Chain A
Amino acid sequence: MFSFIVSRILQALPVMFVVSLISFAMFAYVGDPVAIMLGQDFTEAQREALVRDLGLDQPFFVQFATFLGNAVQGEFGLSYRLSRPVAELIAERAPATLELALTAAFIALMIGVPMGVYTGLYRNSWLSRFFLTFSLVGVSLPTFLIGILLILTFSVWLGWLPSFGRGDVTRLGWWSSGFFTWSGIKALILPAITLGLFQLTLIMRLVRSEMMEVLRTDYIKFARARGLSNRAINFGHALKNTLVPVITIAGLQLGGIIAFAIVTETVFQWPGMGLLFIQSVGAADIPVMAAYLMLIALVFVTINLIVDLLYYAVDPRLRVGRGKGH
């Protein structure tokens, strides 16, 4: 078990290295931070001084090595745009993104699973057809359009929910939470639906096909023959067996939700890491972009590791298969 974890962590290191290298190389193309920092009026001498201060006159690999050396120590420098420590900026924004992502995942599971079960059981009812059509909308409409449509309906026409921002937040140490105020919860609804809709439809379709598969298996037929109640069969046996792949997918999608919150956060001016990233791109704020990409890579690597460990714990076949040229 221990050697398994160590080997997975060792495999993760080159991944992180490559991600940091690629993201660092990309920054050469996002624009020149110096041009943006200098503003409209400057002399050549000021320009050269700034380039030197930022270390941009160094060769690429020297810059990269410096960055990596600092990053390993958790030191990401000062944001060019905001003149504040990057680590502090990201820590400030992380709670907003995490609360949004978790709420979106929660909504996706709580609505997606029952909808999937229903459409799997009653394939031909009009409600199932409606759910399936609706899921096509969720899969095919781009996130920003869904967000704008929700704002138009619930903020502009009905006036029920705020169109932007996070409402009032409560401070719990360094964490800021919107869960404890009415305005915070109201502000969370539209962005969470926008962010979770795609996952919701994905989970619904996954549960539906798994249910249909499982319902055809022999042990369900035997259970029916034994005269078990429909409820016990559908939820006690069928659903339980569909949930293994659903949990896997949902876990992996959580990383995706955090990373793809960028669009939702921009539409709703949600003060999270994604919005910070987009604004940093606009200003060629390399320290923030680098730190964000590294963090997202770390989130994916960690989630993958946890999923692998869960497999290892849950599925005995994996343990047997190891060392046999599997």
Chain B
Amino acid sequence: MKALWRAAMLVAALMVGVAEARTVRWAASGDPNTMDPHSQNVGTVTMVLQQIYDALISRNPQLGLEPGLATAWRQEEPTRWRFTLRPNVRFHEGEAFTSDDVVFSITRALQPTSNFGIFVDTIDRAVAVDPLTVDIITKAPDPILPNKLASVFMMSRSWSERNNAARPQNTRQREEMFTVRNTNGTGAFRLQSREPDVRTVLARNPDWWGWQVPANNGNVTEIIFRPIASDATRVAALLSNEIDFVIDPPLQDLARLRNAQGLRVLEGPEVRTIFLAMDVARDELLYSDVRGRNPLRDIRVRRALYHAIDIQAIHRTIMRNQSVVTGTLFPEQVQGYSREEDVRLPYDQARARALLTEAGYPNGFEITLDCSNNRYINDEQICQAIVAMWARVGIRARLNAMPLGPFFAKIQRDDTSLYMLGWGVPTLDALYSFQSLLATRNGAQGDGIWNYGRYSNPQMDALIQRMKTETGEARNATIREALRLYREDVPHIPLHHQMIPWAVRGNITIPHMANNQPYFRWAVVN
């Protein structure tokens, strides 16, 4: 028996030796700012960390929910969810994964210094029932808790406490925290080396629990991530075979990349919707020549601005067909999407002029459009085009395009009359968009925090409150009703959902994901 065992070990060792290194050299414009899983809720951080850390619940290539570190979950009572944990899971440094780590991780994400509040905001506390069972008690019934927990990574309590990292980085601290450059997850890859802004190397974790699941068919043994900020250089590095995979190739180079030998462009939608929002609260606009009244409070003016936009022209010429034109708040990947409500007001200049005349602005008016110029795909060009389209119906819009720093600072002071925003939906549920963008701002967590036009409609607020607690078909009906109200009230002018092309070398297959996150567990190098 012992001899047989030894032989088996030998064969296994040989196989490991024979398996060749399959490396993917991956680049993006930005580097993750930290390796702490609860510190910064930003795509560039998550795209690396989700290779290293697991959440209780995983996502499949269609972004549906799958068992992760939890094998089963149930809403036992309206405010109590029970999670059954996967047995025999170990962290990269050897600690066994238990319910105590779940309690620790959720408590950590709840700290004020965490950027992940949105995913745990309804949680009151987590309770370890036994080593492989956890109860999560919510303050109010939360029907979409599993969707949110798919974004909360699990850390080891003993490792974090040993390294003084029991809570995410505090800005008042003067010293660097251990977790800024070190990781210890349960995931498919471990962090092998990290030089911030230069190179991050991940190595396959052969002991990952997920390799037992047939869907996780990836064969990558090593990932070398390198940030390249300059668009032209990133493309050049791909063309010159120094990089295999670019997650954010510039749109203007796509045609060239499609025709390049040995490269493929993976096309796909992103869960991010670009829209214009308007100040519908003030009695007089901050940036307009209309005195004594606010033209944007008149629904006819909002509709006129909407009718005047030739979205197909933007789609064709500025987005080069890389956008999904929309008339609603979020794309179809989001829970609650309704095709019947995804209808635009048609492009109609005559109608726009008629509406303006009807509203008492036959000669139009002046207004300033605030735009970012480095946050969304072609953001400044989109705004330029809209300004020109409005000019044709008499709206004299001035474009104020800024880098994202000043732009966000300005709109967050409510210092705007009209602005363009792109909104992603990490929970993939309608509530996130409605709550942040359209709820009346009342100081409560999440309500209206990105509603800088200060749209406020009691009917909408009531629907949003219902979305927070309802379940099943009733909830879908509520969302549909809210989407109908959104179309009717025109607090925004929706433009399109972004498309996010990825460019990859021909010998690599990797599923394109609408959350713009690569999952190397499914990447195959031939």
Q: Interface segment, B227-235, B359-367, B476-484?
A: B227-235
Select B198's contact among A41, A49, A155, A166, beta carbons within 8 Å.
A166
B112: interface (CB < 8 Å): yes
* Closest partner residue, chain A, to B412 (CB atom): A35
In the complex, chain B residues 166-193 whose Cβ is within 8 Å of any chain A Cβ: 169-177, 180
Contact with B along A12-51 (1 / 0, CB 8 A): 0000000000000000011110011111111111100110
Cβ of A282 and Cβ of B176 under 8 Å apart? no
B173: chain A residues at CB < 8 Å are 78
A85: interface (CB < 8 Å): yes
- Report the Cα distance A318→B252, complex, angstroms: 59
B33: chain A residues at CB < 8 Å are 81-83, 283
Cβ of B115 and Cβ of A53 under 8 Å apart? no
Cβ of B174 and Cβ of A78 under 8 Å apart? yes
A63: interface (CB < 8 Å): no
Cβ of B405 and Cβ of A163 under 8 Å apart? no
Select A39's contact among B40, B172, B237, beta carbons within 8 Å.
B40
- Report the Cα distance A108→B242, complex, angstroms: 29
A193 to chain B, nearest CB (A): 15
Cβ of A271 and Cβ of B171 under 8 Å apart? no
B486: chain A residues at CB < 8 Å are none
Cβ of B239 and Cβ of A282 under 8 Å apart? no
Cβ of A31 and Cβ of B405 under 8 Å apart? yes
B115: chain A residues at CB < 8 Å are 38-39, 41
* Closest partner residue, chain B, to A42 (CB atom): B449
Contact with B along A250-277 (1 / 0, CB 8 A): 0000000000000000111101000110
Cβ of A78 and Cβ of B230 under 8 Å apart? no
- Report the Cα distance A240→B412, complex, angstroms: 63
Query: Is the interface on chain B under 10, 10 to 19, 20 to 34, or 35 or more residues?
Result: 35 or more
Cβ of A163 and Cβ of B233 under 8 Å apart? yes
* Closest partner residue, chain B, to A157 (CB atom): B240
* Closest partner residue, chain A, to B199 (CB atom): A165
Cβ of B41 and Cβ of A266 under 8 Å apart? no
B521: interface (CB < 8 Å): no
In the complex, chain B residues 331-388 whose Cβ is within 8 Å of any chain A Cβ: 374
B236: chain A residues at CB < 8 Å are 148, 151-152, 155-156, 163-164
Select A275's contact among B169, B197, B403, beta carbons within 8 Å.
B197
Cβ of A164 and Cβ of B196 under 8 Å apart? no
B252 to chain A, nearest CB (A): 13
A49 to chain B, nearest CB (A): 7
* Closest partner residue, chain A, to B42 (CB atom): A39
A-B contact pairs, 6 of them (CB 8 A): A31-B409, A39-B40, A40-B424, A85-B175, A163-B240, A282-B404
| Cβ-closest 6 pairs across A and B | A31-B405, A32-B409, A41-B118, A35-B408, A155-B240, A31-B406
